[in-house]
Amino acid sequence: MPHTAHNFPYFVIEHNETEFSKGGWCYLEYVNILQILTPVRVLITNMPLEHQGQLPKEFRQCMCVTQHSILDFLGPTVELGRFSTQETLLYSALQAVETTQAVCFLDEVGTQVLTPQDIANFTFIIVGGILGDHPPKDVGKYIRESPYITVRNLGSYQMSTDTAVLACATVLRYQTPFHLLRTVDNYEAFAADVTADDGTIPCLCTSQSNTRTNSYAESTVIRMRYLTLHQPKLADPITLRGELSPTIA
């Protein structure tokens, strides 16, 4: 049975990209996330002001968009004077929960997989890092090593940020164990082909008709894991957004 909005977690996107522009790969991933979750359930942290200026107007409805890292809001000693009103509200929300147990970081290095039962454990889910680095540079290490964070994984494959959000939301919202999600693993596409309409990439399900661009060399092969269009108990992933109340519980 789907869980209602009052016990559904907030998703924190810890932004670690050095480049961000309208129509780019990362930009489209973030836009896709608002097709999965209501904006009020989404926070973007660690995002420079110049990158924030590239976001569509829909992101103004997010719980918070800030240049501060999520770690700046954790712990007992925080300088509140440097925070805006919106950032202060985020800090208060984080302090209102048992931080070491209620904040989860999704990291492929984690030793425990996210389970449906984690819906009762976590108030905030952090996703982030830099997609597609090979070998991986472990960009999220600074988050994983925080004493205020609990780590879970979504398997050992790299996922795009929007795919990770969709997988996590499906596991928690529809109480579907991760291993039952239908995925396409080791999908290979030359970077030059990824600029084509997403309809040519059948395993990419969180985007509709956007065009993805990238800065990879044309000979670069991208191997990723994506969710397939049809998940158990979830006929259309986009309906997930409409079923989550925009009211903060």
pLDDT digits (tens, 9 = 90+) for 179-229: 887 766 655 544 444 443 333 333 333 332 233 333 333 333 444 555 554
| Cis preceding-peptide flag for 76 (omega within 30 of 0) | no
Ranked by mean pLDDT, which of 27-41, 71-85, 129-143, 203-217 comes out on top?
Answer: 27-41
Domain ranges across the chain: 5-179
Name the burial class of residue 210, with classes exposed (0-12), middle (13-18) and buried (19+) by CB atoms within 10 angstroms of its CB. middle
DSSP conformation class of 39:
G
Distance spanning both ends of the chain, measured CA to CA: 19
Q: What is residue 185's predicted lDDT score, i.e. its pLDDT?
A: 60
Condensed to tens digits (0 to 9), the pLDDT of residues 80-90 reads 778 998 898 88
Cα angle at 195 between 48 and 27, to 5 degrees?
20
pTM, entire model: 0.77
pLDDT for the residue numbered 100: 59
Higher pLDDT, 204 or 79: 79
Q: Does domain 5-179 have CATH number 3.40.50.150?
A: no
